[in-house]
């Protein structure tokens, strides 16, 4: 008899003790348009080499590079991710015009 057959028989003959059905979770429906609008002017990015780049320096220098120190607030989301919250939509559009989308300091 091959090992495949032995493994197959062993699995089928065992009963799982204490197995329960997964719980069904239902979330009530709600209007999330204001929630989406609140996050409309946020830019989220990722540091490609967080072990060699300082996230605090990146959050400090990018608004200066964009010349928008008064129009953007940066935050470290941990695990190499960051977020910039722009005051209005025009500011984020001006920032996205500055291609390519990488920064080397």
Name the residue range of residue 51's domain: 26-96
- The stretch 9-32 carries a mean pLDDT of 74
In a domain, 4, yes or no: no
Judged by average pLDDT, the poorest of 14-23, 47-56, 68-77, 78-87 is 14-23
Per-residue confidence (pLDDT) for residue 6, from 0 to 100: 58
Q: Is residue 102 part of a domain?
A: no
Q: How many CB atoms lie within 10 A of CB 41?
A: 18
For residue 45, being part of any structural domain is answered with yes
Q: Does residue 31 have a pLDDT over 60?
A: yes
CA-angle at 20, arms to 18 and 22, nearest 5°: 150
**Residue 32 domain flag:** yes
Residue 3 lies in a domain: no
Q: What is the pLDDT of residue 38?
A: 87
Say how far apart CA 82 and CA 61 lie, in whole Å.
Answer: 13
| Overall domain count for the chain | 1
- Give the per-residue pLDDT at 94: 86
Residue 2: predicted pLDDT = 59
Report the alpha-carbon angle 97-99-101, nearest 5. 115
User: Is position 19 within any domain?
Assistant: no
Task: Judge whether 85 lies within some domain.
Answer: yes
On whether residue 7 sits in a domain, the answer given is no
How many residues does the structure list for the chain?
Answer: 105
């Amino acid at each position: 008899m091959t090992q495949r057959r032995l493994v197959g028989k062993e699995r089928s003959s065992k009963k799982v003790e204490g197995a329960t059905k997964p719980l069904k979770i239902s979330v009530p429906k709600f209007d999330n348009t204001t929630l989406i609008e609140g996050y409309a002017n946020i830019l989220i990015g990722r540091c490609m080499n967080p072990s060699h780049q300082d996230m605090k320096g990146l959050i400090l220098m990018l608004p200066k590079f964009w010349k928008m120190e008064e129009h953007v607030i940066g935050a470290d989301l941990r695990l190499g991710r960051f977020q910039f919250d722009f005051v209005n939509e025009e500011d984020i559009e001006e920032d996205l015009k500055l291609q390519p989308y990488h920064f080397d300091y």
